[in-house]
Amino acid sequence: MNKGPQRTTEKKKDPTTYNSQQIEVLEGLDPVRRRPGMYTDTSSPLHLLQEVIDNSVDEALSGYASIVEVSVFEDGSMCILDNGRGMPIDLHPQHQRPGIELILSTLHSGAKFSQQAYGYSGGLHGVGISVVNALSSWLKVDVYRDYKHYRIVYEDGVLKQPLHQLSRPSTIKNGTKVHFLPNQHFFERVTINSDHIARLIKTKALLCPGLTMKLTYQDIPQQTWLYPNGLITYMGSLSFDQPLWSEPWSLSRQEEDFHVDVIVQWAADHLLSESFVNLIPTTQGGTHVLAFRAGLLEAVRDYTKMQARELRDKITGDDLAVGMNFILSVKMHDPNFIGQTKEKLSSGRISQPMMTLIKNSFLSWLLNHFDHATALLQHIDRVQENRMLKEQSKQLKKNVQVKFPPKLADCTSKHFEEREIYLVEGDSAGSSAKQARDKKFQSILPLRGKILNAWEVKSHKIYESQEVKDLIVTIGVQPMSDDLSQLRYNRICILADADSDGSHIVTLICALFVQHFPALVKAGHLYVAQPPLFRLDIGKQHYYLRSEQEKDALLAQNKGKSHSLIRFKGLGEMNPAQLRSTTLDPQSRLLIRLNYDPNSYENLDLLMAKNRAADRKKWLEEPQSDFISGAVHD
């Protein structure tokens, strides 16, 4: 009987078996080729190029090279040539192989683990150029020593042409040329933007004064960078929006264990915050950046204490960071980085000495540059003011669904009785008032142009004016409401120029309050400030006068005396000190409080009602008196 094919029983492998046969030993450059992402950025070969450039720049840092030439060809290959000492070609005493072969094919080999061959250097892990070799389709290195020319060639990390001397003598005395083609198998893309490369090379020249860096990118004409003065030249070439100082603050100092170069400028915009360690970009910062920022912060805090300057709040690092542009370059021995790409410094030993150096240097500079220090504190105060306003607006919006106008410069006091706000026409006058005020209890709200004539406008219509809407949100009282529990200021002061245009603005704002906020006026919260119209100097005496009548009377009293007269065209023409002493300082200002009574209402109706043109004409032809009969001096 045919029983058909017989099934043979084959012993299957036990998936749970784990023994020594399953252990792999990766040797040479195999670890890099198996897991390239552990050793470099695989999005593009830019980091490979950077590793080779850094080796050449390390020669410059140690004083052996003055020129580095970088070339990128159409086939994607890259070439870096320097005039440094040239890679070592003699046999290693222990391994009996040429030094260059060890450097190119053995991980964690190099001359940068100590300071014998290099002082400051960026290549520290001994894997940079060997990673380039492992991830390149081919790599060729030419070494020049005493006009002798040597070459070694690799393909896919495997030695193809051992180190050998070329018979033809070299025109180059000393140096190294590394030419390689990144293997596209290991990268998401093999092309590198020319601007990225140019920025990298330019930065090396900036951070190493006297080093000439050259770039030839395919068919683009060669570019050359040389900065004898380094960072100062670079910062001066940037165009900042409203820079705080005409010249940035800079420091170049050699300490026992490190060297620091730093340059700082505050401006309305933020263009750069770059840091480097041994010319390696630390794009994620690290301990050196933290120490630098901490040193600046402590210096500013100490300065405010020494000068008895008061700001809105204790200065924070975030306050100082707004608008701060800086480049920080540190050179140090044996820095520790997080990751092979060296984007963040982790060396803790630099923190305290770095912070102390920055603090002492910047504090000394502030003490010797009063105007610059004052400008910085004013900038910080504006930042704090904006921050507190944003916090307040955010909270107010969260609670009552309103948002304060962005131009409001609010005071810090929480005590209603001392809080006051000045309504100022125009940004220019508003800026002067902000600088002149006492930030503790005085707020400033600039109004754009002449405010709406609201005398004959229905209350629900006044919200259509953005300026009026901002005013309503700011003071916290709704039109025609008797509820003043949310009123944010005890005094609402109208501040306009002392001329006829200013009087028109005062009248418009008075009309708005009297007609639509009568409860607020009746409670005595509305005031008119009295800025000067003239400054009259007689001898050594200075007089600020609020009208033509005051000026004429004083001149008559001092008839025949030499004098000088200035007429202020607007609030913006007074410096902050003048505006403070004449108009805002409670000890010397003159405020007129408006009382709500029938005469005040009638006079405003005479001036503002459209159908009373004939009455206004008659009134203008008669002798004038204070049209707000209920005004009293405060």
d(CA 17, CA 24): 16
Determine if residue 266 is left, alpha or beta; phi over 0 gives left, psi from -120 to 50 gives alpha, anything else beta: beta
Q: Is the dihedral angle over the CA atoms 157, 158, 162, 166 positive or is it negative?
A: negative
Burial class (CB in 10 A: 0-12, 13-18, 19+), 177: buried
Query: CB neighbours (10 Å) of residue 93?
Result: 6
What residue type is assigned to position 72 of the chain?
A: V
Secondary structure (3-state) at 136: strand
Q: Is residue 323 within 8 Å of 266, Cβ to Cβ?
A: yes
Which DSSP helix (H) or strand (E) runs through 394? helix 370-400
> CB–CB of 48/193 below 8 Å?
no
Q: Which helix (H) or strand (E) holds 287?
A: helix 287-306
| CA 203/CA 205 separation, integer angstroms | 5
Is residue 497 part of the annotated active site? The answer reads yes
* Percentages (nearest 5) of helix, strand, coil residues in the chain: 35, 20, 40
Q: Pinpoint the alpha helices (H) of 401-491.
A: 427-436, 466-475
- Collapsing DSSP to helix, strand or coil, 75 comes out as coil
**Alpha-carbon distance values, 267 to 242, 299, 379, 585, 587 (Å):** 5, 19, 9, 30, 35
Tell which residue, 424, 380, 377, 433, has the closest CA to residue 405: 424
Neighbours of 17 (CB within 10 A): 8
Catalytic residue of the set 30, 302, 501, 550 = 501
The CA-atom distances, in angstroms, between 513 and each of 107, 350, 436, 472, 519 are 80, 62, 26, 10, 9
d(CA 278, CA 61): 8
As a whole number of angstroms, the distance between CA 399 and CA 377 comes to 32
Paired with 535 in beta bridges are: 544, 566
* Residue 597 among the catalytic residues: no
Separation CA 427–CA 423 (nearest Å): 11
Q: Is 499 in the active site?
A: yes
How far does Cα 87 stand from its chain's mean position?
42
Distance, in Å, from the CA atom of 297 to the CA atom of 362, rounded to the nearest integer, reads 10
Q: From CA 610, how far away is CA 511, in angstroms rounded?
A: 13
* H or E stretch covering 265: strand 258-266
Q: What is the dihedral of CA 450, 455, 456, 461, to 10 degrees?
A: 70
Nearest to 181 by CA among 229, 221, 140: 140
Q: Which helix (H) or strand (E) holds 81?
A: strand 78-82
Distance CA 134, CA 130 (A): 6
Query: Which one of 241, 255, 456, 499 is the catalytic residue?
Result: 499
Active site residues: 425, 497, 499, 501
